[in-house]
Amino acid sequence: MIVGAGIGGLTTALCLHAAGFSEIRVVETARELRPLGVGLNILPNAVRVLCELGLEERLSANVIRTAELALYNRHGDLIWSEPRGLSAGHRWPQWSIHRGHLQSVLADAVRSRLGHESIVLDSRLLRCRPAAENRVALDLHSRAADAVTSMVADVVVGADGIRSAVRAGLYPDEGPPPGNGMVMWRGTTWTEPFLTGSSMIVTGDDRQRVVLYPISRDPESGRVLVNWVTGRPWDDDDPSARGDWHRQVPVSKVLRHFGEWRFDWLEVGTILAGAGQVHEYPIVDRDPLPQWTFGHITLLGDAAHAMYPMGSNGATQSIVDAQVLAKALATGDDPGEALRHYEDQRRPVTAGLQASNRRMGPEIVIDIAHQRAPNGFTNIEDVIPAAELAEISNRYAATGRFDVAAVDAQQPVHTRAKTESRQS
């Protein structure tokens, strides 16, 4: 039983199926799966998993293969750039993709391979608890029927996001996700391509930040749909609004702070102004946990390790979690031991990323550049030596295990043949 039909939960269902399991069910609070959200960056270690699941053709038809990451100061001076995905020597690309497109493709694949009934909507988890014979009992509430249904599963995977009900049952005194006093505004805008046409840029200073990257391209006009994210300290007069994760706000709220941002090579404010909708989110995460697995219950994705949105690792790490979890269950004899093995592999990696992202991840170079040269610079070498910049980038890639060597060394998703042999 997988609780949560987001990116991590749906990928887990597909990885388990690829590993030889067939009795899989995904329960989801929402009454329907709608293609909500804006853009995501999926790093090569997670793109490899999606490709090995046979999803490359459907997904890649509407993605941008990210070619570079470029970091700039508030004045548009280049601090650091590096090739990404195939351009960096990976065998798999880095994808910039609309979250709704990714979720829709994953859900369609789950229903096609496991049956339409494998995703159960309008099922909010009330509680899960140990049951007889090392199983887990779940109570699920349907709003439409206003009824509670009880079910029993061999294994429960909590993939239900940063406000996870599974996690809350395991850690009832934890409280709400902590924030860093920052707010994000997010939107998408159709515009002309910039830089390579497949570039992801981050620009700003030590207080304000703008991230822009294209997530799809119109083949006729050549224009691109740019996902953008802005971040700054929260000064909203309505503190009650901070609990609303999908609050829609007028674009004028963003332009008040970022409307005048423009460089010789990019009209940042104009791109922001062209958004049809703008959503506001608090920047929050979760503290690393000392333990994910309790008996036959474990956590995955944001439920286990929600992190600040730095370095393109949120959805990426959820997808990698799914692959490691499926592999552990397929090759282990005892589910509880397999879940602990999964946790032993993944918890140190994600805890390291959570800590790094609280320090701004690879974007820390923007803070450093501003602190050392607040009025800009002519030569970045006069501000930050190239070796220091490279060390920051390489250390973060190693922490998240998405450097070329680590991605090439990943275990493949498919273990069906070995599983069937063991079971027989």
pLDDT digits 0-9 by tens, 282-317: 899 999 999 999 999 999 999 999 999 988 899 999
Pick from 270, 304, 272: which is nearest to 290 by CA?
A: 304
Average pLDDT over residues 222-250: 79
Residues 188 and 154 in one domain: no
pLDDT tier for residue 190 given thresholds of 50, 70 and 90: very high
Shared domain check, 124 and 17: yes
| pLDDT for res 421 | 34
Whether 129 and 255 map to the same domain: the answer is no
Residue 418: predicted pLDDT: 41
Say which amino acid occupies 181: G
pLDDT (average), residues 323-327: 97
Give yes or no for residue 424 having a pLDDT over 50: no
Per-residue model confidence (pLDDT) at position 249: 93
Q: Are residues 171 and 304 in the same domain?
A: yes
Q: Are residues 87 and 109 in the same domain?
A: yes
Mean pLDDT computed over 101-110:
97
Q: What number of helices (H) and strands (E) belong to the chain?
A: 14, 19
Q: In this predicted structure, what is the pLDDT of residue 417?
A: 43
Same domain, 321 and 406: yes
Q: Do 399 and 272 sit in the same domain of this protein?
A: no
Residue whose tokens read 């140990």: 130
The answer to whether residue 245 scores a pLDDT higher than 70 is no
pLDDT band at 240 (very low <50, low <70, confident <90, very high): very low
What whole-number distance in Å separates Cα of residue 84 and Cα of residue 87? Answer: 5
Question: What token pair was written down for 260?
Answer: 């005048």
- Over residues 348-391, the pLDDT tens digits come to 999 999 999 999 999 999 999 999 999 999 999 999 999 999 99
Domain boundary among 238, 258, 284: 284
164 and 202 share a domain? no
Residues of the chain with pLDDT > 90, as a percent, come to 88
Choosing from 249, 266, 284, the residue where a domain stops is 284
Tell me the percentage of the chain whose pLDDT exceeds 70.
95
- The arithmetic mean of pLDDT across residues 80-89, rounded, is 96
Q: Between helices 386-400 and 335-358, what is the axis angle to 10°?
A: 160
Verify that 173 and 299 share a domain, yes or no: yes
Mean pLDDT to the nearest integer, 218-241: 84
Query: What pLDDT, on a 0 to 100 scale, did the predictor assign at position 194?
Result: 96
Q: Do 172 and 239 share a domain, yes or no?
A: no
B/e letters for 364-395, b = 16+ CB within 10 Å, e = fewer, are bbbbbbbeebeeebeebeebbeeeebeebbee
Lowest-confidence range among 43-47, 62-66, 103-107, 311-315? 311-315
In this predicted structure, what is the pLDDT of residue 237? 53
- What are residue 298's DSSP bridge partners? 157
Label residue 420 by pLDDT band (50, 70, 90). Answer: very low
- Indicate the pTM of the whole model: 0.94
Note whether 298 and 418 are same-domain residues: yes
Query: Comparing 412 with 305, which gets the higher pLDDT?
Result: 305
> Do 217 and 198 share a structural domain?
yes
Q: Is the pLDDT assigned to residue 173 strictly greater than 90? A: yes
Average pLDDT over residues 167-173: 97
Q: In the chain, how many domains are there?
A: 2
Instruction: Say yes or no to pLDDT of 341 above 80.
Output: yes
Q: Which of 245, 266, 284 marks a domain boundary?
A: 284
- What pLDDT score was predicted for residue 73? 97
Average pLDDT, the chain: 93
The CATH number covering residue 152 comes to 3.50.50.60
What Cα–Cα distance (Å) separates residue 82 from each residue in 368, 373, 385? 18, 21, 15
Please name every residue paired with 137 in a beta bridge, in sequence order, or none if there are none. 129, 152
How does residue 247 score in pLDDT terms, banded at 50, 70 and 90? confident
Sequence-distant (≥ 6) Cβ neighbours of residue 57 within 8 angstroms: none
Domain hosting 412: range is 2-177+286-423
Mean pLDDT, residues 24-43 taken together: 91
